[in-house]
Amino acid sequence: MKTLVSSYDAALFDLDGVVYLGPNAIDGVTSALARLREIGTRLGFVTNNAARTPTAVAEHLRELGIQADDSDVVNSTQATVRMLRGELPVGAKVLVVGTDALASQLAEGGFVPVSTLEENPVAVVQGYHPQLPWSLLELGAIAVQRGAAWFATNPDQTRPTERGILPGCGTQVDLIADCVGFRPSMAGKPFRPLLDETVLRLEARHPIFIGDRIDTDIVGAGNVRMDSLFVFTGAHGKYDLAEADPIGRPTHIGYDVSALLAPAREAEIIGNGFRCGVAEAWMIDGRVVADVVPDDIEGQLDLLWCVLHAIWRFNAEGADLLARLDLLR
């Protein structure tokens, strides 16, 4: 059996909503990742979240029973440091609007983290902070208005957790953007620096990226011309896929990361419709219809793949049929 992952030399995973939700591993992920390592797949863990260091993330993965070296983890701060080196001299003072972990990584990268305007920072670096002080936001806004360059680790508006969907770094960035009238240079997905940094560090030649968000993960992969697998264990779902622009349409879909160990879904044209696995859908008067909706997740994923191809390729109306896929969010 030819598996999806057999076409790639590495698998790069987003973390929140793909590998874990908060402190807990997503069901089935630990065994799937172990199997991928057994068959020789190089694994990388890629996160926009700059609130923790790669060492702390790798330790958390190991606590969940997932084999991971510190070097397997690449975060948006590492990509931000590379951006800073291209624009600022080593030793430049930067005001950190983020966690101590962000500050420590910037220091390791050769920059001097500061926390006051009196220290005359030449740049502001902003990353997600779960207990962000309002006074720190104000300092960041003032520094940018005074001419400091502004960098942010990622644009994620939300982040999936075991408690539900919560505000992300992007919402904190918006607060400063509303004051200064423009947006920062970004390192994280969907922008190129983070995935370029990951491919460089892991020496991957033909990787696949696995993510749960259209706007960062799938668009990010598209921006670097990398194939992608969308999974349903995190932030986005079937309606987001249906509305995705071409750059945000994944190469593959699967319920979770175990889809890498199964054959790739393929939608073939049959008359005025599509077939995938045992599922079929066709178009009547611009609408996508199906006689049978499978009562299992894999069958519904097959039908969804048919529906998405009809929507993406022929601009068909698929809302009614999407609503009948009741096992998919």
Catalytic residues: 14, 16
Whole-angstrom distance, CA of residue 165 vs CA of residue 22: 11
Name the phi and psi angles at 230, rounded to 5: -95, 135
Whole-angstrom distance, CA of residue 154 vs CA of residue 59: 22
- Decide: 260 and 13 in contact? Cβ < 8 Å: no
- Decide: 14 and 217 in contact? Cβ < 8 Å: yes
Q: How many CB atoms lie within 10 A of CB 93?
A: 15
Strands 123-126 and 93-97: parallel
Please provide the DSSP assignment of 229-242 as one string.
EEESSSS--HHHHH
Residue 249: both structure tokens together? 């349409």
Q: In the chain, which ranges are E strands? A: 10-14, 20-21, 24-25, 42-47, 73-75, 93-97, 112-114, 123-126, 149-152, 158-161, 164-167, 185-186, 207-211, 227-231, 252-254, 268-270, 273-276, 279-284, 287-289
CA 100, 56, 43, 22 dihedral sign is negative
Whole-angstrom distance, CA of residue 311 vs CA of residue 315: 5
